[in-house]
Structure 1
């Protein structure tokens, strides 16, 4: 006679008190008040008491067993996912270390350890104690050479002393708590102390801050000890890999405040190096953890920083924002909050298009009017009541003009056919020129050129808008107006070239595009017969030249609502724009043909 598994599971043999399953495991059935076998429970099995026949089990007990099994399976699955991600990240890091170490280290030197003379060395007498108090061992595995040596780090800190003024981190208290204390990582010792701490979030924040410093170094920056080129990109890649490991160790079920602040700093890093989509992902991760910690339920400068940045970046890359409207109590944040609030309204308009409610359109108009009052173009530098530096004022002007341009751009395309839209065209052109002026102030106020690829790119978009209006037949310009526009654009190109000479950034590609447009406009284009450039977060530019007809044709495609980057790009703005997949479709296209200048060779 055959028996089911459940029957065999609870069957006892003659002369014994143990069930078949416990005998197989060579353990004894021990029952408690819950009528369960405690021995089997240690094996993650539920074993009913042999005094109770299966037929007498209640439906409640069966449901309880199924529920507990489901919970156990869910826990196992979540652990497997975490382990898989950790293994992937660790494997990638080990591969990089092996490749880097195999060229200049002997086999016995390739062991993973922290050098004895490293500033990151953890005292041996406290190592065991730290292991017992730190929930994860990742801090002990931070390589000693993940950041430059102490002499080079001191040199980097001296070079990047003005970086805080360009990051819009005050008054969010991400790095510093007041205007007098300009940063907790302002010197070498504080950086190494943070890396030796048992706080995973603090170590992550310190590593990302170091990456920000590295991102601002010029091309010719050299190691203080060896005199060789430093190659900051390699340090940044290693640091980002290490920080991802630390984040996994600190995010169950939610990460610490320091780790969330590290995500905000990571946002600023990706903004600086031209990866806005990665910046957006960092802010979204920060929002998720902040919600779990309840930061949105109480006054929090950190939550304000996440809220404002989420709405700004979501609009720029054309994705929905993830936070509700809210009031910010801090007076110093009135202007950044207005920028974030207005960005959210424009995102709603872009998503709903013709279905946009009148209330949203009214909020956009009112918000822009208030922002123009809050951020005038002629801002007094001697304003002692302002918490923002002159550079930060210029950054907010750049955002103001970018928002106003995005508000009116969808309607300005009709100005050539319907005069009631002429005011939208005027608003777009004034804001485009204002954005270029703000960018010029940002650069002129810097003692040394700092890398801010996103700011360069927002100004580059404004320059493209000026060019499109300049060549449009529907809106002819006078010779004086044409000369003025080209003067503004050529000054901007000159700034991009000067920045590109010092820093590794996307400025060189933007300058190439504008110079090609100017050459084609003047009939002097002698580049590739058909040059296709896919501009991330803008559109596609095709310049073709017909030597038989002695003409050059510019075809510019874009979208007047939402700008997106092709999915194939990895480095976003710093990718080679001529190599990006050009198969995407856009909502607007303009075609312009120019005759070759006389006397030039074909």
Structure 2
């Protein structure tokens, strides 16, 4: 074979497979010009002929391309990187592995310890070597992800050690990489928790310093059912059955100081809820804490608010979202409804920024890598819990809902839910509709009320009749069993709350209008059911901060039951109220007041104390009914039935007083309307009392002879409700007699009536505006 044939075969062997339509030669391709051939069978293109350069098709290897010379600077950088990686491996691998298996890199000189910065006094370590190692890795891990090559190299210690716990009994310097070296769950492998960046060190130090001892945390977690409530807050019943929820033992472990600030803050808030729901008989002497439980948890909330929930740089994580919800729950339990509402709204806004309202989880970043993936809350669970809590507080405060999203209550979304979970979601939807109805100023409000009542009754019928029996709480049961019964009872209470708030605007309408009889009967019946469950619950649980919502429900229900007796026998066509039912209601309210006083005494609770005072001073409403039914009024009973004045913040004064013709001091008479105006003027002079806004005015029901022109009682002894000194911006009409109740609106400014801000806590503003919402709703339709 000739040399020409050999070269042709070699060239054919080096032939490349090119893309269809490729016709340019290598030289034209490099110059980015069009490769054109002349007429005929020329093998050299015209540009190459002009330049005199070789014309080689791209089907063959370009042998004319000069080989690139190695970059000397790149080689030096790679060499330095290899040396750095070798030193890093020496520091990461445990000493036991280094002694048994000598690597070539062990011969390299180690970085002198003096080159590391001096560890600070707040560095968490067991020896000086660990401190220097920790500070070296802080710089690396601040900009290294878990899945990058260097990040994978940083996890060599876990793979090389073979197991998570340190079996040697002494902590190796490399253990500082994995703060939670002990496996908390069998199913989840040990994962390295990335330490916070240097700008978060101060926040981590402040948060970590607030933790009680590990023994105290365990003691607090076992004294009540709060841990079971916390772990089930973002978990469905189906997930609980499948075991996809955190264990109580897991949330009792104090995270390491190197955790993300939101991880530390979340565990602190869980501890604060443990303290909040501790029973009054809990022995605090067994704890190592110097401060009281109340002071310690308030300090925790203050530090968490400063360094986590109000810190925009750290709160934008899934754990930060949980922190905002837990903070709102703590404030709600403490009676700070307005701060709870603000916390829920902040959580809602953050969730919308993350996109969880649209079903997206891309921005929902979990920074607690020690938490197994299957035990993390889903975006749907977080979003629903935010909506549920926001609407519950908004309904009490008379505020609009944060979002109208009801996607959680569709059949598809509730496909795997239990009956109780479905009922809770339906109640959440109905609560938003009641808020919408309350804001409606048109004549369609009553039609909306009827529609909502139908849906509420339909939701109630999804449960069996036996389910609506009052749950039995037994102290002999464990916290898990009682927690289920408590959730059962709270769902029932919330259902009756919705009934009361739905029909409250129509309860005191003119008795001659029969279409409102259903609303009156519903309010009275639902109020009795709430009060019965309140007595059962507070008999077993006297901790004021446990299920605080039931205290507001009891106050609203008791006031509604008492007011339901106003003017109900004014119309002769109406049936006479049953003496037996009235006696039972009186006894029930007296038992409720006794429970409130007991809770106030053992828990030092101002809300229970004020609620009991208000109810005791509203009891003369029943006295007036008794006297009217007996048909006579003596001087003794006349002095017993006094005028009741309730000073409502941001609203005005509510006067409950005898109706009809009221005798004057000189023996003449004047209508009750004039007396109401005098009573309102007298109440304005009493605005500067130092007691709480509502109980102070209700504390002393003025004697008739103390109010000019209001001596004595009418022959009927009937009681009416008069709203005088009302803020006109909150009411719907001017001076008028509406629904048989005289209402006089005082247009004078009420500056200086309040001595607390809008976001005041329960110590300064006990009822937080629940009373304002109640009286506004009672007379708004």
Is 2:610 the partner of 1:453? Answer: no
1:557, 1:588 within 8 Å by CA — same for their partners in 2? no
SS at match of 2:434: helix
Cα displacement (A) at 1:501: 2.8
Which of 278, 296, 311 aligns to 2:339? It is 278
Tell me if structure 2 keeps the 8 A contact 1:555–1:589: no
| 2-structure distance, mates of 1:173, 1:319 | 28
Residue 319 of structure 1 aligns to a residue in which SS?
coil
What is the aligned partner in structure 2 of residue 315 from structure 1? 395
1:300 pairs with one of 375, 380, 384: 380
Q: 1:246 to 1:226 in 2, by over 3 A?
A: closer
Using the TM superposition, give the Cα deviation of residue 412 of structure 1 relative to its aligned residue in structure 2, in angstroms.
1.9
1:486 to 563, 586, 594: 586
User: Of 308, 333, 338, which aligns to 1:247?
Assistant: 308
Alignment of 1:426-505 (within 5 A): 426-443=521-538, 446=541, 451-472=546-567, 474=569, 477-505=577-605
Pairing 1:413–2:514 present: no
Contact 1:342 1:364 in 2 (8 A): yes
Is the contact between residue 134 and residue 198 of structure 1 (CA under 8 Å) also seen in structure 2? yes
1:395 to 480, 487, 490: 490
Offset at residue 289 of structure 1 (A): 1.3
The 8 Å contact of residues 263 and 282 in structure 1, kept in 2 or not, is answered as yes
Match status 1:348 vs 2:436: yes
For the 8 Å contact 1:273–1:451, the answer to whether it is kept is no
Partner of 2:60: none
Kept in 1, the 8 Å contact 2:504–2:519? The answer is yes
Q: Any conservation in 2 of the 1:139–1:198 contact (CA below 8 Å)?
A: no
Deviations 1:211-247 (A, max 9, x none): 1112123557554467898522322222122212333
Distance across 1 between alignment mates of 2:384 and 2:702 = 51
In the TM superposition, residue 159 of structure 1 has moved relative to its aligned partner by 1.4
Give distance in 2, aligned partners of 1:182 and 1:418.
55
8 Å CA contact 2:262–2:315 kept in 1: the answer is no
Q: Mapping of 1:186-201 within 5 angstroms?
A: 186-187=248-249, 190-194=251-255, 196-201=257-262
- Residues 273, 249 of structure 1: CA spacing in aligned structure 2 closer, same or farther, 3 A cutoff? closer
Contact 2:503 2:519 in 1 (8 A): yes
Q: Find the counterpart in structure 2 of residue 142 from structure 1.
A: 206
State the alpha-carbon separation in 2 of the partners of residues 218 and 388 from structure 1.
15
Distance 2:134 2:436 in 1: 54
Report the CA distance shift for 1:587/1:498 in structure 2 as closer, same or farther (over 3 A).
Answer: closer
- Whether the 8 Å contact between 2:344 and 2:386 is mirrored in structure 1 is yes
Partners of 2:544 and 2:773 in 1: CA distance = 34
TM-superposed CA distance for 1:439, in Å, is 2.4
Q: Give 1:193 deviation, angstroms.
A: 3.3
Q: Which residue of 2 aligns with 1:163?
A: 226
Q: What secondary structure, in the 3-state scheme, does the structure 2 residue paired with 1:212 have?
A: helix
In structure 1, the residue matched to 2:454 is 366
Contact 1:411/1:424, CA 8 A, preserved across alignment? yes
Matched, 1:234 2:322: no
SS in 2 for 1:300: helix
The answer for the alignment partner of 1:126 in structure 2 is 134
Q: Deviations over 1:151-180 (max 9, x none)?
A: 4333322212x125667x736239996258
CA distance in 1, matches of 2:350, 2:311: 11
Q: 2:757 aligns with which of 568, 581, 588?
A: 568
Q: Radius of gyration: which is bigger? A: 2
Using the alignment, how far apart are the partners of 2:765 and 2:723 within structure 1?
18
| Cα displacement (A) at 1:554 | 9.1
Contact 1:272/1:451, CA 8 A, preserved across alignment:
yes
Is the alpha carbon distance of 1:337 and 1:163 closer, same or farther for their aligned partners in structure 2, counting shifts above 3 Å?
A: same
Query: Structure 2: where are the runs of 5+ without partners?
Result: 1-119, 143-194, 360-378, 473-480, 571-575, 624-636, 655-693, 706-710, 732-752
Secondary structure of the residue that 2:255 maps to in structure 1? helix
Residues 421 and 206 from structure 1, CA distance in 2 versus in 1: closer, same or farther, beyond 3 angstroms? same
Q: Deviations over 1:417-463 (max 9, x none)?
A: 31221111111111111221232343356597763333211111110
In structure 2, the residue matched to 1:58 is none
Is 1:510 the equivalent of 2:611?
Answer: yes
Distance 1:249 1:406 in 2: 34
Deviation track 1:99-128 (CA, whole Å, cap 9, x = no partner) reads xxxxxxxxxxxxx9769899xxx9775356
Per-residue displacement from partner, 1:133-157 (whole Å, max 9, x unpaired)?
A: 5232244322655233344333322
Q: How many residues of Structure 1 are paired with residues of Structure 2 in the alignment?
A: 467
SS of residue in 1 equivalent to 2:701: strand
- CA spacing shift, 1:368–1:531, aligned 2, 3 Å: closer
8 Å CA contact retained: 2:214, 2:253? no
Q: What does residue 22 of structure 1 align with?
A: none
Q: Residues of 1 paired with 2:209 and 2:433: CA distance?
A: 46
| C-alpha distance in structure 2 between counterparts of 1:387 and 1:579, whole Å | 30
Instruction: Give how far 1:500 is off.
Output: 2.2
| Contact kept in structure 2, 1:435 and 1:462, CA below 8 Å | yes
Separation of aligned partners in 2, 1:457 and 1:537? 19
Partners of 1:347 and 1:500 in 2: how far apart? 31
Please say which of residues 473-482 and 396-405 is displaced more in the overlay. 473-482
Q: Which runs of 5 or more structure 1 residues have no equivalent in the other structure?
A: 1-111, 591-602
Counterpart-to-counterpart distance in 2, 1:172 and 1:585? 31
Mean Cα deviation higher: 460-469 or 532-541: 532-541
- Cα distance in 1 for partners of 2:303, 2:589 equals 41
Query: Matches of 2:331 and 2:442 in 1, distance apart?
Result: 34
Whole-angstrom CA distance in 2 between matches of 1:127 and 1:210:
30
Give yes or no for contact 2:395–2:431 (8 Å, CA) kept in 1: yes
Q: For 1:302 and 1:116, locate their aligned partners in 2 and report how far apart those are by CA, in whole Å.
A: 33
CA distance in 1, matches of 2:774, 2:518: 29
Other structure's SS at 2:248 match:
coil
Please, what TM-score do these two structures have when normalized by structure 1? 0.65
165 and 431 in structure 1: CA distance in 2 versus 1, 3 angstrom threshold: farther
Partner of 1:14: none
Measure the CA separation in 2 of the matches of 1:370 and 1:423.
17
C-alpha displacement at 1:336, in angstroms? 1.6
Partner in structure 2 of residue 424 of structure 1: 519
Per mean C-alpha deviation after superposition, the further-off stretch among 483-492 and 193-202 is: 193-202
User: Which position in structure 2 is the counterpart of 1:597?
Assistant: none
Aligned partner of 1:178 among 240, 247, 250: 240
Summarize deviations over 1:391-424 as a string: whole Å, max 9, x none: 1111011111111111111122215231221111
Encode CA deviations 1:495-526: one digit per residue, 9 max, x unaligned: 22232232233212211222232368555999
